[in-house]
Amino acid sequence: MKVFKLFFKIARAKAGIILLYVVIFLAICFPLVNSSKEKLDFEEASIAISVIDEDQTVASRALIDTIAKRNHLVELPNDKQAIMDASFYEVVDDTVVIKKGFEERLQNPDDTSTEPLFETLQMRDTFQTAMTEQFLNNYIRFMKVYVADGDSLAEAAEKADTELCKEADVEIVTPPGAEVLDTNYTEKFALYFRFLPYLLIAIMVNVLSTILTSLNRKDQKMRIECSSVKMSSYMSQIFLGSGVFTVLIWGIFMISGMLVYGGVYRGLHCALAVFNSFLFAVIAALIAILISSFNPNGTVVNMIAQILGLGMSFLCGAFVPQAMLGDGVNMVARIFPVYWFEKANDMLAGIQKGNLSDVGMCFIAEAIYIGVFVVLIVILSARRGGLVRQKKVVANAG
């Protein structure tokens, strides 16, 4: 097993690169996965809001009380520069200015003025500020309806407050056509597996290809040919070393994933995600072996690793979800194995429509890539072996 030992002697010299990738990957994934609750849930959001009351009436104070029930009130002076400063430094998300004459105009059913009853001030438009403006418009509409119906301002304000502060029943449903979501494998934790293709390609190509290229150097090959090691044994030990190396790298990421997950993986979807990652680890290893067949130097290997890793990750949905990519991009991405890995991962997490049969089709697609790469490696190895034998024959004839 001299070749096998030599394989891992070279691999140990690359341990720093592997450790660097693992540490950076975990440093990115821990905050992403733990940034919110694992449980799918809905919670109504409130914002920091300041109210400037220029009217100082019963109606304006009633509106302030209603706003306070849904948001966090922040006191600010009635100064535009102070308001803009607070918005810029994100002390407040929005500022509502209740205009003078607010109560008087609400009480007047014949009011035809086009002047707004309130004004909102913010640094930029956001979803939250748009919802605040919609809430205020609805409040004014309810008030005018109730006053026109004969209610006093106090009664109208109470009814408007009741209508607008009702809690809606929220139900989170599974996307149409999808399996029941596995709460053990959530969208947040799926991020860990989503980024794996880039890491596996980068490590396999940068490390495994470099090891194999070192073993395939002319001087190294000559030493082996002069030794008692048969070529069949040499190739067997290289493939065994590559297989053990692949399992070790894959195992490191699976154990690291347990640290992010918070224990042993649970549930069918987690098990399928682990199997999906193993299939892709084999694909990444075969890509590395295929690249090493051309004996590139270290600079070229690193360049290929970045092009393949980043290119397929962006195109196939690792860095940008497939749902956000155009149909044309997804159509092109289908020719790459990363696409099928990401598609299976998204379906397991409930991000995309699909059932377990669809996930199985993705696994079959990845298995086809494994078969294709194995055939290519065998063909290239056979051709190189034939060329070597021809050179020996020519040398002996000379």
Residue 363's pLDDT is what? Answer: 95
- The tokens describing 182, both together, are 């596995």
Distance of CA 269 to the CA centre of its chain: 17
Assess whether pLDDT exceeds 60 at residue 174.
no
**Do residues 58 and 93 lie in contact, with contact meaning Cβ atoms separated by under 8 Å?**
no
Residue 361's pLDDT is what? Answer: 94
> Taking the CA atoms of the chain, what radius of gyration do you get in angstroms?
32
Confidence at 33, pLDDT banded by 50, 70, 90: low
What distance in Å separates the CA atoms of residue 245 and residue 77, rounded to the nearest whole number?
Answer: 66
List, as one string, the DSSP characters of 322-345: GGGS-HHHHHHHTTSHHHHHHHHH
Distance of CA 111 to the CA centre of its chain: 53
What distance in Å separates the CA atoms of residue 112 and residue 223, rounded to the nearest whole number?
Answer: 98
Beta bridge partners of 48: 72
Domain-wise residue ranges, the chain? 2-36+183-397, 48-164
Mean pLDDT, rounded, of the chain: 82
Q: Is 275 exposed, middle or buried (0-12, 13-18, 19+ CB in 10 A)?
A: middle
- H/E element, 107: helix 102-107
The number of beta carbons lying within 10 Å of the beta carbon of residue 263 is 7
What distance in Å separates the CA atoms of residue 282 and residue 200, rounded to the nearest whole number?
Answer: 9
Q: Is 66 exposed, middle or buried (0-12, 13-18, 19+ CB in 10 A)?
A: buried
Strands 118-121 and 94-98: antiparallel
**Do residues 7 and 215 lie in contact, with contact meaning Cβ atoms separated by under 8 Å?**
yes
Number of continuous H segments (helices) and E segments (strands) in the chain? 17, 4
Secondary structure of residue 120 in the 3-state scheme: strand
**Do residues 25 and 203 lie in contact, with contact meaning Cβ atoms separated by under 8 Å?**
no
Residue 394's pLDDT is what? Answer: 43
The average pLDDT across 62-91 equals: 86
Tell if the pTM clears 0.75, that is, is over it: no
pLDDT single digits (tens) 359-375: 999 999 999 999 999 99
The number of beta carbons lying within 10 Å of the beta carbon of residue 316 is 26
- The tokens describing 352, both together, are 């995309």
Residue 178's pLDDT is what? Answer: 46
pLDDT single digits (tens) 194-249: 888 998 998 899 888 888 888 877 766 667 667 666 767 777 888 899 999 999 99
Query: Which residues have C-beta within 8 Å of that of residue 79, sequence separation ≥ 6?
Result: none
Assess whether pLDDT exceeds 70 at residue 170.
no
Beta strands in the chain (DSSP E): 48-53, 72-73, 94-98, 118-121
Query: Which residues have C-beta within 8 Å of that of residue 387, sequence separation ≥ 6?
Result: none
Confidence at 256, pLDDT banded by 50, 70, 90: confident
Confidence at 262, pLDDT banded by 50, 70, 90: confident
Task: Look at the domain 48-164 and name its fold.
Answer: abc type-2 transporter like fold (3.40.1710)
Residue 393's pLDDT is what? Answer: 43
pLDDT single digits (tens) 294-343: 888 878 888 998 899 889 988 998 888 888 888 888 899 999 999 999 99
